[in-house]
Amino acid sequence: MPSTTTPLNILIIGAGLGGLSTALALGSDGHKCTIIDAAPSFGEAGAGIRIPPNSSRLLMRWGLDFEKIKKSKSERYHFLRWDDGNTLLEIPFVGKDYDAPYYLVHRADLHSALLEKVESMGVPVLPRKKVVEYDFDNKNVTCEDGTNYSADLLICADGIKSIARPLLTGKEDNPRDTGDVAYRILIPGEKLLADPELSELITKPCTTSWCGPDAHLVGYPIRDGELYNIVVCATNLSELPGEEWIVKGSNEELCARFASWDTKVQKLCKLSEGFLKWRLGDLQELTRWSNDAGTAVLLGDSCHPMLPYLAQGAAQAAEDAATLRACIRKISGQGVTLKEALLEYERLRKPRVTTVTKFTRTHQHILHIPDSSLQRRRDAAMAGGDHEDSPVFWGWRERRLWLFGCDAENLESVAKPLPGKGPGEGLAGEVVEEAEAEKGGDGGWVVRNVQEKAGEVVQGVKEVLGLNGGMEKEGPYSAA
Ligand SMILES: Cc1cc2nc3c(=O)[nH]c(=O)nc-3n(C[C@H](O)[C@H](O)[C@H](O)COP(=O)(O)OP(=O)(O)OC[C@H]3O[C@@H](n4cnc5c(N)ncnc54)[C@H](O)[C@@H]3O)c2cc1C
């Protein structure tokens, strides 16, 4: 039910998961939202997406009907060794701890459910509207086709390559290449069910992560087991050698790269058909998210793209929407100005999302350690049960509660500091430091050695393929 007494005219630039979640949050509060997007039609590229409890609780509250989405539910997180598949750590995701489920869905299903919902609320969602000019003072945008849109507030949810961001921060703020790539793979669930060694990946839904040198593979079922989704997160060993952000991958190169991994991984690679490889970028903390005049604000990947290693990018965008909704409510409730509301949104959201982003960077190292004394220390710490020094973020209940238990519409909840050690501290920090210190050495597992290793791997792949790599440019970059 609309609850605001001062409805605003809001223009949202970007109809990705962030923009649509925002329209859902603010539209259900009585604001008049319009969404414009450069894309000719709507739909999400990519494969599966995890909707953790900090996001599912918000989307459900705003009226998204998950009953209409074919989904799976993750009950636990299972970390395995890369070569023999032995368990490193199992973490239960107890729904009652957070009062909200951990869903596993196809992102196209989530996107179309959100789109349908906001359109049913009367929110116009207009394709082919590429913004080419912002006039923040006059709260106006101009699109490539010459059309103009004005509003009380511009919400720029235009993704990692945001053109609003540099205008708003006054800096270039280009995304950083993290040195990692993600392969996004879907396999029909029935193929796994037909193999007794793989069938439990479908029948006992959970998130499984094989952790090994230079890579980890995350797998989970979606669409109630119709599909098994795999995200291969790996050091870029020349898989994306040029400027492209997305390229096609081949089954042969995948099998070659993971030929010495656990037999389950090898089988999954064999079952994988066509897939795409995505360059992974992120961004350092921005100086600001809103403009001086209090007329425009950034949201989602436009202000905090991150590595997908905590499965939090879209979830943090939903949190942004929730906090923005709560701050804007104070305009009528407590007489604050729109500018003050935007500043409070930024003040609350920036530290929390920066902490999450930094943890995704530590996981880039922690989940990719080659067999070594450091890896044995990591494994021992993982095996040590639920404790603060667990090197994986989820390995301590207090941290899980901080992340999944947050209700981002409750401003005290958003402001709650992370319990225990920060992202650069403890064993996790030591691992990152050691990785950094090895730069230029011959340890062989951080970015410095990519060129050297790339040569070997590419040569190996060429031998398997009997050809020259076989990648082709796929299309424009999107973080989806
Ligand atoms: C491999 C991988 C796995 C992931 N897994 C998860 C996960 O499990 N859970 C999770 O929560 N997150 C996950 N993420 C992160 C998540 O996908 C992103 O954080 C999220 O999709 C960002 O949404 P967004 O709406 O902010 O940006 P985008 O999805 O990039 O949307 C931006 C929109 O703006 C439009 N646009 C851009 N420029 C203009 C312009 N000038 N004019 C008009 N429109 C414009 C674009 O067309 C696009 O539709 C993952 C990411 C990757 C890469």
What does each of the 480 residues of the chain score in pLDDT, given as a tens digit? 445 557 999 999 999 999 999 999 999 999 999 999 999 988 767 799 999 999 999 999 999 999 999 999 998 999 999 999 999 999 987 667 888 999 999 999 999 999 999 999 999 999 999 999 999 999 999 999 999 999 999 999 999 999 999 999 999 888 999 999 999 999 999 999 999 999 999 999 999 999 999 999 999 999 999 999 999 999 988 777 777 788 888 999 999 999 999 999 999 999 998 888 999 999 999 999 999 999 999 999 999 999 999 999 999 999 999 999 999 999 987 889 999 999 999 999 999 999 999 999 999 999 999 999 999 999 999 999 899 999 999 999 999 999 999 999 999 999 999 999 998 888 888 888 887 776 543 333 333 333 344 444 333 333 333 322 222 222 223 333
List beta partners, residue 207.
Answer: 77
Instruction: Say yes or no: CB of residue 276 within 6 Å of ligand 1.
Output: no
pLDDT at position 457, please?
37
Terminal Cα distance for the chain, rounded:
30
Residue nearest atom 15 of ligand 1, based on CA coordinates = 313
Alpha helices in 34-106 (DSSP H): 53-61, 95-98
- How many whole angstroms separate alpha carbon 261 and alpha carbon 283? 32
SS3 255: helix
State which H helix or E strand residue 167 sits in. Answer: helix 164-169
DSSP 290: B
Instruction: Say yes or no: CB of residue 300 within 6 Å of ligand 1.
Output: yes
Please choose, from the candidates 46, 56, 249, 40, the residue with its C-alpha nearest in 3D space to the C-alpha of residue 145. 40
Boundaries of every domain in the chain: 9-41+127-174+286-368, 65-106+175-282, 373-407+420-464
> Which CATH architecture fits 65-106+175-282?
2-Layer Sandwich (3.30)
Structure token digits, residue 456: 């070997």
The minimum-distance atom of ligand 1 relative to the CA of 132 is 41
**Which residues are within 8 A (CB) of 52 and not within 5 positions of it... i.e. 6 or more apart?**
102, 311, 312, 315, 403, 404
* CB 88 within 8 Å of CB 379: yes
In angstroms, the Cα distances linking 19 to 52, 143, 352, 381 are: 18, 17, 20, 39
Does the pTM surpass 0.85? The reply is: yes
In angstroms, the Cα distances linking 202 to 87, 192, 193 are: 18, 7, 7
Residue nearest atom 17 of ligand 1, based on CA coordinates = 480
Query: What spacing in Å lies between the alpha carbon of 438 and ligand 1's midpoint?
Result: 33
Structure token digits, residue 235: 């050091």
pLDDT at position 5, please?
56
pLDDT at position 430, please?
83
- The best mutation among 12, 34, 37, 71 to test binding of ligand 1, ranked by most ligand atoms within 8 Å of the C-beta, falls on 37
Alpha helices in 405-468 (DSSP H): 411-415, 426-437, 450-465
Give backbone dihedrals phi and psi of 388, rounded to 5 degrees, phi first. Answer: -60, -35
Task: Tell me whether the CATH fold assigned to 9-41+127-174+286-368 matches the one assigned to 65-106+175-282.
Answer: no
| Residue at token pair 């989970």 | 220
- How many whole angstroms separate alpha carbon 208 and alpha carbon 81? 11
Instruction: Say yes or no: CB of residue 15 within 6 Å of ligand 1.
Output: yes
| Residue at token pair 């792949």 | 461
> Which CATH architecture fits 9-41+127-174+286-368?
3-Layer(bba) Sandwich (3.50)
Query: What spacing in Å lies between the alpha carbon of 457 and ligand 1's midpoint?
Result: 30
Q: Is 100 exposed, middle or buried (0-12, 13-18, 19+ CB in 10 A)?
A: buried
C-alpha angle 344-347-349 in degrees, rounded to nearest 5: 100
State which H helix or E strand residue 172 sits in. Answer: none
pLDDT at position 441, please?
37
pLDDT at position 60, please?
98
Q: Is 345 exposed, middle or buried (0-12, 13-18, 19+ CB in 10 A)?
A: buried
Please choose, from the candidates 143, 142, 58, the residue with its C-alpha nearest in 3D space to the C-alpha of residue 100. 58
